Amino acid sequence: MLKRLPAALVILAGVVFLVLVLARNLFPVGNDFEEMIDDFRPLLTDESIESYRTDLAGLAAVGDEFQTAIVPALSAQLGMDPASFMGLMGEQFPDVATGLAVMPQMIPQFSGLIDTLEQQQGNFDSADQIPTKSLPAQSVPWGFTFLGLVAIGVGVMMLLKGGRTWSLVAVVVGAAIIVGSFVLTLPGKSADADALNEALQPVYTVETVEGAKTGIAVLGAMGQQMGTEMLPALGAMLGMQPEDLNQFLGANFPATAQSLQTMPQSLARFGTLATVFDNNLDNYETLNPVKFVPIIWAFIAGGVLMVLGGGYQLVIGSKEEAAAV
């Protein structure tokens, strides 16, 4: 049994690699991980984060300015009290009224999401490099499978052939697994991937994704009705031509005037963000239960088993040769 133990350790290492692939469903995980990373990569650049923050600031300024400045000013010019003016708005321009009503809840939600994405930029960049910057995540299960078959084959040859050659192969392959894992910083990258997964759990749910899509649709309808119906109607009520109304808004309500120009682009960016989250919801559900740190350390442990098995076989062989001499 002592003579078979080294080969058994090497074979066990190969079994560990194959079990990792099957038990942790690594082929689907690798594909879904890479697809999700590819889709999110453009959204987590510094430029994208800054654009989202600018868009949110513009929308927040519109909501604040409308409630605190536009409503009192226009209701006074129309000889109405603010409550009557808002009632008129709700009757004639329901999309605008709905958008203004949901904006105080939506902006903090989107702001919290952008905060999360910004805080996780470092973890995302690290996870994006699993196993390396140039190799996709799909290569991980294939690598585990290949090394598992190699380890089993080497262990079988150690049983059948004995000698130093296959023992040396086991030691070299096992050492390459251990050293390569640390050279590629796989323990650190896997820890960052797990941290990213944990940070996304509160915000990446069906409810939040559907809420974001609904909110963007509401704001889009608000911007459309505000620009094409409400402002022309208010201009007519105030006896202003469209050019005069635009000048009036720009001089007295700059945030709203600016937002009317940029709102389509802002909502388009948030629409892209919501679409990416929506399209990758299935991918995230595949990844969510997976912990990468135990997988990497089990991989390293398999390399240790190969080194121990091959090294022990070399020691036994050396002692037998010495005894023979």
More confident residue, 151 or 5: 151
Q: Which long-range contacts (CB under 8 A, 24 or more apart) does 284-289 make?
A: 284/32, 284/36, 284/200, 284/204, 286/25, 286/28, 286/29, 286/32, 287/29, 287/32, 287/33, 287/36, 287/197, 288/197, 288/201
The rounded mean pLDDT for the chain is 89
Q: Which of 103-107, 113-117, 180-184, 299-303 has the lowest mean pLDDT?
A: 103-107
User: Is the bond preceding residue 131 a cis peptide, omega within 30 degrees?
Assistant: yes
Query: What length is written for the chain?
Result: 325
- Indicate the burial class of 251 (C-beta count within 10 angstroms; 0-12, 13-18, 19 or more): exposed
pTM: 0.86
- Residue 322 pLDDT > 80, yes or no? no
Q: How far apart are CA 65 and CA 243, in angstroms?
A: 21
Please report which confidence band the pLDDT of residue 161 belongs to, taking 50, 70 and 90 as the band edges.
confident
- State how far the Cα of 108 lies from the Cα of 191, in Å rounded to an integer: 29
CA torsion sign, 171 to 174 to 179 to 180?
Answer: positive
85 pLDDT higher than 90: no
**Residues 202, 206: Cα–Cα separation, whole Å:** 11
Helices (H), the chain: 5-23, 26-40, 46-65, 71-77, 82-92, 94-119, 121-127, 139-161, 165-183, 186-200, 206-225, 231-238, 242-252, 254-279, 281-287, 292-324
- What's the pLDDT score for residue 283? 95
Residue 46 has pLDDT above 60, yes or no: yes
* C-beta separation of 253 from 70 below 8 A: yes
CB 256 within 8 A of CB 62: yes
Q: Which residue has the tokens 């948030």?
A: 270
Mean pLDDT of the 46-68 span: 89
At residue 252, the pLDDT reads 83
Q: Any idea where the domains of the chain sit in the sequence?
A: 5-118+139-324
Residue 323: pLDDT over 80? no
Q: Cα–Cα distance between 261 and 280 in angstroms, integer?
A: 31
Of the ranges 83-92, 175-184, 191-200, 241-250, which one carries the lowest mean pLDDT score? 241-250
In this prediction, residue 45 carries a pLDDT of: 94
